[in-house]
Amino acid sequence: MKEDAQNISIYDAKKYFIFISILNIADMFLTLVATINEYGKEINPLLSNIVNDVPLFIVIKGIMPTLLLATVYLRLKKGKIEDIKNSIKYLRFCYFWYIIILSSHFIWILTVISGFSNL
């Protein structure tokens, strides 16, 4: 029974890891589109200096976080059920935070599409 609960919990965690990875890649892509076309800028001070170096930006903002998420997931698979359940709370927070971040991207997309950027 305990093993079934752990499998269910790790499955829930895996979903969040996948969603967060997808949202991270979407954030990276939309940030590149916004900065290249001068619709917006990278507000993270650690990344704002490298956004013009597209390959480096992709590695640091896209690939490295995805690899880190995969590493954490693989370690969490071996963890206790309590650790997995606690991690899911943080994963949910991260997931909803990315939703907020991507919402800001959609605001500039709608602004550009609707023509308000020319005002």
For the stretch 15-48, pLDDT in tens is 999 999 999 999 999 999 888 888 888 888 888 8
Q: Residue holding tokens 């927070």?
A: 93
The answer to whether 62 touches 31, Cβ cutoff 8 Å, is: no
**Integer Cα distance of 71 and 49 in angstroms:** 27
Closest CA to 95 of 32, 12, 5, 35: 12
* Prediction pTM value: 0.81
Q: How many domains would you assign to the chain?
A: 1
Radius of gyration of the chain (CA): 17
3-state SS class at 46:
coil
Q: Residue 103 sits in which domain range? A: 2-118
Residue type present at position 76 = L
